Amino acid sequence: MTETSFSFAWLGTGLMGEPMAKRLIAQGYTLWVWNRTPAKAKALVEQGARLAATPAEAVAASCIAFTMLSDFAAIQDALRGMELAGKTLVQMATIAPSESRRLAERVAHAGGTYLEAPVLGSIPEARDGNLLIMVGGQERAFLTLRPVLKHLGQVHYIGEVGKAAALKLALNQLIATLTVAFATSLAFVQEHQVAVETFMEILRKSALYASTFDKKLGRMQAHDYSHPNFPTEHLLKDIDLFRCEAKATDTRMLEAARDLYLRALAGHGREDYSCVFEAVFKGEASSV
């Protein structure tokens, strides 16, 4: 699919949805956009998108509908009463494998085609077209949509519906536990008055290093978690999805991390998930 005459529906223009939709508009595609709060779609309309009053209106005017909504319940609500015959639904948010399979069954029953395409990356990657996109569903449908998805990032076909959703949750589990692990080590070196610069210098040269540590270090040192790329409440949602879907996996480590995120969330609302440092850090460094 290389034609820009196709009309797409884009449902959900939040933190990730807006920059992703902007990239498709920049490629010359016609987008019908919908958001529960219409004002959040203003920037897209200014770039040439057409604002739909309802999700059904956006999809009716389009051949392909993308959803980038907060959770499964929001997706179900948006699709309620919608005519999906002959449409392709591309679900790009993080939901459970079982939820994705339910959506696939619903779309197939209505005479449409379904692809799951969750993404790894945050706002900068969405803006620059550097997301990692994992696709599950019919391979023929994937091959048709791949040229469009490539405008958003690197595209990987994972297999049948549910597998891409499972892979995304596995990766988000790493986001949760790696950040807790880093916050714990950072708090410990501060407690024992080891220079953070020295800690990071050694860490960066080791096999233990992950680039996410440097991305979150500044926030933790400044205790400033505003303007999040990934709000804590969304990560908690994904932790709970992982725990519910893990039938043969011991999740006790993740449950301990979840408790820390919940404690941090109490004082930091919709802020960045790196605020988990506040649940780990207990004050000024003690003398050694």
What CATH number did the domain enclosing 207 receive? 1.10.1040.10
Residue listed under structure tokens 């999700």: 55
User: Would you state the pLDDT for residue 5?
Assistant: 56
Residues 269, 190 share a domain: yes
> 126, 152 in Cβ contact below 8 A?
yes
Tell me whether residue 41 is in a domain: yes
Residue listed under structure tokens 């019919």: 138
Q: Give bridge partners of residue 11 from the DSSP assignment.
A: 34, 67
Residues 170, 150 share a domain: no
> Could you say which DSSP state residue 229 is in?
S
Token pair in block for residue 254 = 């993740």
Full residue range of the structural domain in which residue 196 is found: 166-280
Residues 189, 66 share a domain: no
Residue 284 has pLDDT above 80, yes or no: no
Percentage of the chain modeled with pLDDT above 90? 94
Residues 178, 152 share a domain: no
Residues 170, 105 share a domain: no
45 residue type, one letter:
V
The domain tally of the chain equals 2
Residues 238, 221 share a domain: yes
Residues 173, 155 share a domain: no
Pairing of strands 88-91, 113-116: parallel
User: Would you state the pLDDT for residue 10?
Assistant: 98
User: Would you state the pLDDT for residue 283?
Assistant: 63
Nearest-Å Rg of the Cα atoms of the chain is 20
> 109, 6 in Cβ contact below 8 A?
no
Strand ranges, E, within 96-160: 113-116, 119-120, 131-137, 153-159
Residues 153, 119 share a domain: yes
Residues 17, 148 share a domain: yes
For the stretch 77-126, pLDDT in tens is 999 989 999 999 999 999 999 999 999 999 999 999 999 999 999 999 99
Top pLDDT among 254 and 3 is at 254
